[in-house]
Amino acid sequence: MHTKRIDKDLAALPLPPNMRDREAAWRGFSWDEARRGLSGLPGGGLNIAYEAVDRHALGERAGHTALRLLSADGRRRNIHYDELRRLSNRFANVLTSLGIGRGDRVFVLCGRRLELYLAVLGSFKAGAVVSPLFSAFGPEPIATRVQLGQGALLVTTASLYRRKVAAMRAQMPSLRHVLLVGDDDASANLSTPNEPGTLDLGQLMDKASDDFAIAPTRPDDPALLHFTSGTTGTPKGALHVHGAALTHYVTGQYALDLHPQDIYWCTADPGWVTGTSYGIIAPLLHGVTSIIDEAEFDAEHWYRILQEERVSVWYTAPTAIRMLMKAGPELAHQFHFPALRFIASVGEPLNPEAVWWGADVLGLPIHDNWWQTETGGIMIANTVAMPIKPGSMGKPLPGVEACIVRHQADRPIEVLSDAEAVGELALKAGWPSMFRRYLGQDERYRKCFSGELYLTGDLARRDADGYYWFVGRADDVIKSSGHLIGPFEVESALMEHPAVAEAAVIGKPDEMVGEVVKAFVSLKRGIEASEALRAELLGHARKRLGAAVAPKEIAFLPTLPRTRSGKIMRRLLKARELGLPEGDLSTLEEGA
């Protein structure tokens, strides 16, 4: 079924320029060769911040803009590489002066503002392990994460401190210092939280020196702590190392096609791994200019950024694309994007409709890619070295070996080599950005590995051309009358209907067939839910998927519950449907 549609589609999508040359470059890939793209610390060792900032700042790109910060009130501030070097040195000096150093954990809780970037880079320089959190987290999720990570220092704004941290301070005994960033909230001026260990970051930065001797970290030294999205359960804390920079560098090149003159925009919040790996590290490693927008999503505002900042490479997520689609093509057509060269998406499966929408409305198809907090960087992608197959995650990147396995309790893992076989997606362990621990969950970490394979927990299939297709999370797959039904296929079929903005399906226990498919659908702007529409959607799905796979029930919702990283929380829809406990909702976005 897929193959037929895709053949038709493929012929209509333009092939990437120089595709053959780029394919050839892939074939010659080796990690050893790739390592030459990084310079290493003078005197030995590897530190992400040196690779990302200092080596550019000490060379020809010193005056090139590294970060362009767009603040909510419309101000625009350019920070060039040498300024970033000096400011991150200052932050590292502040940490050192407070006794924070190698292996200490630094948490950052502030919006997308300069201090966040300085805290991340300065922590790398000091050898500390940094963990950015979503600033929209409530007090409880913040305290739990700081406690689990044994945070020694927290960087936050005065108003976030007052609203979310102050009352929880007793629950975070590991926290020795809080550094406050001034913000525009007059009621929260810096002198308010006059508590021991709570200091004004601005004052400390003013006094600190521009020079800092970067800690001689090694590739295996911890650098980053990231919490998973909590889509399938309680978020896990995944620990990453400085050596991950090599994956970020390589994937910045192969998966995002970054070039030195690019204006690059990653829309992910650094509280999610994408916002750090590809919102901070990868673009800086390539010496490009990153757009950093402080404001929340708004379709018109986003189109304006793409147009006015002349964004050339854009990395975003299906949820944002669906929201743009929901806003309608007329809005997009008021803007022009001549500078835009490459668009990529991650986080959830990208429905074929979204790939087509990109081609039709933005003038470029969207390249889906797949990875996880645990993998630390992009593993499978549609890239400039291959034709896009809409609905597919693409092919494993150079240096990544993927396979499909059958993984059943108490049985040895079996690698399924036949094309189209559905099984768990596994990766050969050992790529540079692989996570090294789940904090506090050693047994769970061990269970992710079998022999030399890392088991991802996602189900997929590989086609005869070597493209991988996402089927669903192992937890979300529906079993009905002996069929295994992947939610993605059903959701994509529903999304083809012009009335549907978003869809999520779950399995509902049924005595006769095991589980039946129930769909939750949110409609495009201006479309009313009705019995007639419900019947039409059920009919459309049956026609597309066949009666065995199509949903038996459809419920209309104004929006679907999603995580702060934009992933639909099917487990919550299921728990609500079955009247079961809702579980860990620390990452649930408000209003869902």
- Residues binding ligand ATP (CB under 6 A): 228-233, 235-236, 346-349, 368-370, 372-373, 393, 456, 458, 470, 473, 565, 567
348 binds, among ligand ATP, Mg ion, none (CB under 5 to 8 A by kind): ligand ATP
Total number of residues binding Mg ion (CB under 5 A)? Answer: 1
Task: Report in angstroms how near the CB of residue 470 gets to ligand ATP at its nearest.
Answer: 4
346 binds, among Mg ion, ligand ATP, none (CB under 5 to 8 A by kind): ligand ATP
458 binds, among ligand ATP, Mg ion, none (CB under 5 to 8 A by kind): ligand ATP
By three-state DSSP, how is residue 328 classified? Answer: coil
Backbone angles phi, psi at 68, to 5 degrees: -115, 110
Between 322 and 473, CB nearer to Mg ion: 473
Report d(CA 130, CA 128) in Å as an integer: 6
Task: Report in angstroms how near the CB of residue 578 gets to Mg ion at its nearest.
Answer: 22
Between 492 and 565, CB nearer to ligand ATP: 565
Task: Report in angstroms how near the CB of residue 152 gets to ligand ATP at its nearest.
Answer: 25
Report d(CA 358, CA 494) in Å as an integer: 18
Task: Report in angstroms how near the CB of residue 375 gets to ligand ATP at its nearest.
Answer: 8
Name the residue with the smallest CB distance to Mg ion.
Answer: 228
Lookup: tokens for 590: 């408000």
DSSP 371-398: --TTT-S--EE--TTS---TT--BEEPT
CA 138 to chain centroid: 20
Which residues are within 8 A (CB) of 17 and not within 5 positions of it... i.e. 6 or more apart? 384
Task: Report in angstroms how near the CB of residue 123 gets to Mg ion at its nearest.
Answer: 25
233 binds, among ligand ATP, Mg ion, none (CB under 5 to 8 A by kind): ligand ATP
Between 226 and 544, CB nearer to Mg ion: 226
Between 219 and 394, CB nearer to ligand ATP: 394
Query: In the window 208-247, what residues touch Mg ion (CB under 5 A)?
Result: 228
Which residues are within 8 A (CB) of 258 and not within 5 positions of it... i.e. 6 or more apart? 252, 264, 282, 283, 286, 288, 313
Classify strands 313-316 and 342-345 as parallel, antiparallel or unpaired: parallel
Report d(CA 440, CA 150) in Å as an integer: 11
Between 198 and 382, CB nearer to ligand ATP: 382
Between 87 and 273, CB nearer to Mg ion: 273
By three-state DSSP, how is residue 234 classified? Answer: coil
Task: Report in angstroms how near the CB of residue 172 gets to ligand ATP at its nearest.
Answer: 22
Which residues are within 8 A (CB) of 5 and not within 5 positions of it... i.e. 6 or more apart? 352
Report d(CA 415, CA 405) in Å as an integer: 4
393 binds, among ligand ATP, Mg ion, none (CB under 5 to 8 A by kind): ligand ATP
Between 290 and 375, CB nearer to ligand ATP: 375
198 binds, among Mg ion, ligand ATP, none (CB under 5 to 8 A by kind): none
Contact assessment for residue 266 and residue 306, using Cβ atoms and an 8 Å cutoff = no
CA 288 to chain centroid: 19
131 binds, among Mg ion, ligand ATP, none (CB under 5 to 8 A by kind): none
Report d(CA 377, CA 164) in Å as an integer: 31
Residues near Mg ion (CB under 5 A) are 228
